[in-house]
Amino acid sequence: MLMAERMTMQSMPTRACMCCFVNLAGRQKLNRTPPRVGVARRVLEGQYIGLFERGRDLLQTQKRYDEAVRLFTLATEVGGGTRRRFHYLAWAYGAKGDQKKSLKALQTAR
């Protein structure tokens, strides 16, 4: 069983915690804290993986689209903007019925 499967939505990081991770990501990109870049990168990657796996489970298995959108949005903020992240976000918006936001996420993925 994956760690993300054992975690519940109640154990998901708070918005304040996520802001801290986003701040770490910004510092990492600017190399303002070189000694801690490796640690920050591992923390951010771990958070991204957890958010992504939970979001994918919510989207594909549980059909809880609102929560999947929230997790994929956080994953794009924490992990940066790769195509894959925005494709899943677009999929979640589409499944939710929000075609405009789905299209916008796909355009961002380009």
Domains of the chain: total: 1
Asked if residue 2 is part of any domain, the answer here is: no
Asked if residue 35 is part of any domain, the answer here is: yes
| CATH number reported for the structural domain that contains residue 30 in this entry | 1.25.40.10
pLDDT over threshold 80, residue 22: no
Asked if residue 98 is part of any domain, the answer here is: yes
Q: Find how far residue 5's CA is from the centre of its chain.
A: 16
* Cβ-contact 4, 54 below 8 angstroms: yes
Query: What residue type is assigned to position 76 of the chain?
Result: T
Asked if residue 6 is part of any domain, the answer here is: no
Asked if residue 105 is part of any domain, the answer here is: yes
pLDDT in tens, 59-100: 999 999 999 999 999 988 887 667 788 999 999 999 999 999
Helix H or strand E encompassing 40:
helix 37-57
* Average pLDDT score over residue span 3-15: 48
The per-residue pLDDT for 78 is: 82
Asked if residue 77 is part of any domain, the answer here is: yes
* Cβ-contact 105, 85 below 8 angstroms: no
Other beta carbons within 10 Å of 73: 19
Q: Kindly report whether the global pTM for this prediction surpasses the value 0.75.
A: no
* Average pLDDT score over residue span 13-30: 61
